[in-house]
Amino acid sequence: MNDTIAAIATPEGSGAIGVVRVSGPQTTAVARRLLSWREPPEPRRTFLARVHDGAELLDEAVAVFFKAPHSYTGEDTVELSCHGSSYILRRVLEAAIKAGARQAAPGEFTQRAFLNGRLDLAQAEGVLALVSSRTSRAHRLAMAQLSGGLSRKVARLKESLLDLIALGEADLDHPDEGIPVLPPREARNRLEEIEAGMAALLDGCRRGRLLREGARIAIGGRPNAGKSSLFNALLGADRAIVCADPGTTRDALEEASDIDGLLCVLTDTAGLRPDASSRAERAGIERGETALKAADLVLFVIDGSAPPCAEDEMARGAIETATRARGVPVLRVLNKSDVGTLEAWKAAGGLPVSAKTGSGLPALRSAVLSALSVDSGGDAEAEVATSMRQMEHLQAARSEIKAASALAALEGSGLDERHITHLRSAFERLGLVVGAASPDEILDAVFSRFCVGK
Ligand SMILES: Nc1nc2c(ncn2[C@@H]2O[C@H](COP(=O)(O)OP(=O)(O)O)[C@@H](O)[C@H]2O)c(=O)[nH]1
Ligand SMILES: [Mg+2]
């Protein structure tokens, strides 16, 4: 970080204003050549600056000087608001580079902010979420993360863990002092509490991801149950071919739709049949299975007007196999209610709908939202683990805690080395979420997802 970086911080194309940023220890030297400064101006005051490339006047810009450490990056920084032509901006950037700066890599300004302790890693990822947020819900979540919401929750869990580790170790170090500092029952209670805190955090993250990225909803069921019809009805468009012949849908069709404010990606799958006649149909069935495995929610479509058959059972089995381990919710949809719904199906449970007339669809939509627990009110506690990276560490931390807790419950014991090893790993994982001791590759992976100039 002893070099000075520069980039155009506003998007490609022309606008009223375009911003060029320069940050690093040689910022004032660069600005001296670029803006003909004699002395650095008063920090954080705007002033009119003539931008030169050698003798050539490039633009008249509004400049602000931020003196280290009081800037976004924590370094000396100059921001130039130029006239927003991409030609001018490119020339100003080139001139800054001639004056001693180098072109910044994607996310490098935010990376410097992180390395200088201005943000933790979770907050840095909040910045990324913020610049890419497209809906009001996504925006609210990103703001929460930027202001350290996730970091604070993780910090609280880390504190409880550390407490528990310290008490457990005290007992291990001094086993002969009679009454343990941490009686076994107390240890187990604390473990349970931490586990519950972890579970709540992860569930919040799951909801946060759904709100940001949308939910993947797969529609499964036997041929002719009305999957494609339901797909079309939910989209409000005739997207998939509907036909009385079984095996019409050969491919897994995917389409985005808005279900009461939640972005959903619906997948219509080919009906599962053992005697799929062609290779194309079998390939389609495979794609359907992949979609089921990736889904956040599955709509299991049943022809409620026809008696249960072996193909329904086969579809149920396939859906269960794809969802059970991940705990993905499955909603049973009893389609063709306009023709009638048989008692046998009603008794087994499910939502009667008619893809043909649209009856029951509003109830289905709200059932979808509540099955994903993102119905209104879910926002408040939603968390933004924006990245897979954060989710992985949180999940790993949770399994370590679960392992310790299961061990303690099984043996009715207090904490020994084995528990503490699990707790220590959990503690390290939580540290990685907010970026303490993150190895360089992780940092590079995080920051390279930013755009240049951020
Ligand atoms: N009466 C009635 N027929 C339906 C309904 N939904 C679908 N169908 C009919 O059932 C047949 C199969 O529909 P389709 O959507 O292609 O089923 P898929 O094979 O599961 O995708 C078609 O003839 C549809 O017109 C419904 O709600 N009511
Ligand atoms: Mg179909």
User: Please, are residues 63 and 46 in contact by the beta-carbon 8 Å criterion?
Assistant: yes
For ligand 1, the distance from its centroid to the CA atom of residue 290, given in whole angstroms, is 23
Task: Give residue-wise pLDDT tens across range 29-39.
Answer: 999 999 988 88
The whole-chain average pLDDT of the chain stands at 86
**376 pLDDT exceeds 60?**
no
Contacts of 398 (CB under 8 A, 6+ apart): 195, 198, 199, 202, 426
Residue identifier of the C-alpha nearest atom 7 of ligand 1: 226
Pocket test for ligand 1, best of 219, 224, 248 (most atoms within 8 A of CB): 224
Backbone region of residue 307 per phi and psi (left: phi > 0; alpha: psi in -120 to 50; beta: other values): beta
**362 pLDDT exceeds 90?**
yes
Task: Give residue-wise pLDDT tens across range 75-115.
Answer: 999 999 999 999 999 999 999 999 999 999 988 999 899 88
Which of the 8 DSSP states describes residue 367?
H
Ligand closest to Cα of 249 equals 2
In the predicted model, what is the mean pLDDT of residues 139-143? 76
The pLDDT of residue 178 is: 65
* 212 touches ligand 1 (CB under 6 Å): no
Share of the chain above pLDDT 90, in %: 48
Which stretch, 62-66, 200-204, 377-381, has highest mean pLDDT?
62-66
In ligand 1, the atom with minimum distance to the C-alpha of 268 is 21
In the predicted model, what is the mean pLDDT of residues 404-410? 85
- Direct distance between the N- and C-terminal alpha carbons of the chain, in angstroms, rounded to an integer: 16
Task: Say how many C-beta atoms besides its own lie within 10 A of residue 206's C-beta.
Answer: 18
Helix (H) or strand (E) holding 319: helix 310-323
Measured between alpha carbons, how far is residue 45 from residues 22, 190, 291, 453 in Å? 16, 52, 55, 21
Give the β-pairing of 351-352 and 330-335.
parallel
For ligand 2, the distance from its centroid to the CA atom of residue 223, given in whole angstroms, is 7
Say whether 235 sits in a helix, a strand or coil: helix
Confidence band for 165, pLDDT divided at 50, 70 and 90? confident
* 269 touches ligand 1 (CB under 6 Å): no
Residue identifier of the C-alpha nearest atom 11 of ligand 1: 244
Beta bridge partners of 48: 62
326 phi, psi to nearest 5 deg: -90, -5
* 341 touches ligand 1 (CB under 6 Å): no
* 222 touches ligand 1 (CB under 6 Å): no
Say whether 177 sits in a helix, a strand or coil: coil
The pLDDT of residue 446 is: 66
**183 pLDDT exceeds 90?**
no
Long-range contacts of 59-67 (CB under 8 A, 24+ apart): 59/83, 59/88, 59/92, 61/92, 63/31, 63/35, 65/27, 65/28, 65/31, 65/40, 65/41, 67/40, 67/43
Confidence band for 194, pLDDT divided at 50, 70 and 90? very high
For ligand 1, the distance from its centroid to the CA atom of residue 204, given in whole angstroms, is 37
Task: Say how many C-beta atoms besides its own lie within 10 A of residue 183's C-beta.
Answer: 12
* 291 touches ligand 1 (CB under 6 Å): no
Helix (H) or strand (E) holding 299: strand 297-303
Which domains occur in the chain, in start order? Answer: 5-120 (3.30.1360.120), 134-435 (3.40.50.300)
Confidence band for 122, pLDDT divided at 50, 70 and 90? confident
Please classify residue 298 by burial: count the beta carbons closer than 10 Å to its beta carbon, then call 0-12 exposed, 13-18 middle and 19+ buried: buried
Cα–Cα distance for residue pair 98/312, rounded to 1 Å: 70
For ligand 1, the distance from its centroid to the CA atom of residue 221, given in whole angstroms, is 12
Question: Global pTM?
Answer: 0.65
In the predicted model, what is the mean pLDDT of residues 201-224? 86
For ligand 2, the distance from its centroid to the CA atom of residue 339, given in whole angstroms, is 19
* 306 touches ligand 1 (CB under 6 Å): no
Please classify residue 36 by burial: count the beta carbons closer than 10 Å to its beta carbon, then call 0-12 exposed, 13-18 middle and 19+ buried: exposed
- The better pLDDT of the pair 96, 145 is held by 96
For ligand 2, the distance from its centroid to the CA atom of residue 322, given in whole angstroms, is 19
**308 pLDDT exceeds 90?**
yes
* 241 touches ligand 1 (CB under 6 Å): no
Short-list 353, 423, 449, 450, CA closest to 158? 423
Amino acid at 451: C
Task: Say how many C-beta atoms besides its own lie within 10 A of residue 116's C-beta.
Answer: 16
Task: Give residue-wise pLDDT tens across range 243-283.
Answer: 767 666 666 788 888 887 788 899 998 766 666 667 776 77
**384 pLDDT exceeds 80?**
no
Confidence band for 387, pLDDT divided at 50, 70 and 90? low
* 243 touches ligand 1 (CB under 6 Å): yes
DSSP assignment of 320-335, as one string?
A: HHHHTTTT--EEEEEE
Contacts of 217 (CB under 8 A, 6+ apart): 264, 265, 266, 267, 295, 296, 297, 298, 299, 368
For ligand 1, the distance from its centroid to the CA atom of residue 81, given in whole angstroms, is 59
Ligand closest to Cα of 304 equals 1
374-412 burial string, b = 16+ CB within 10 Å, else e? bbeebbeebbbbbbebbbebbebbbebbbbbbebbeeee
- The better pLDDT of the pair 321, 241 is held by 321
The pLDDT of residue 272 is: 64
Q: Tell how far CA 80 is from the center of its chain.
A: 33
In the predicted model, what is the mean pLDDT of residues 59-74? 95
Confidence band for 315, pLDDT divided at 50, 70 and 90? very high
- The better pLDDT of the pair 1, 422 is held by 422
Residue identifier of the C-alpha nearest atom 9 of ligand 1: 226
Residue identifier of the C-alpha nearest atom 19 of ligand 1: 224
* 336 touches ligand 1 (CB under 6 Å): yes
The pLDDT of residue 254 is: 87
In ligand 1, the atom with minimum distance to the C-alpha of 241 is 16
Any idea which of 34-43, 178-187, 327-336 has the lowest mean pLDDT?
178-187
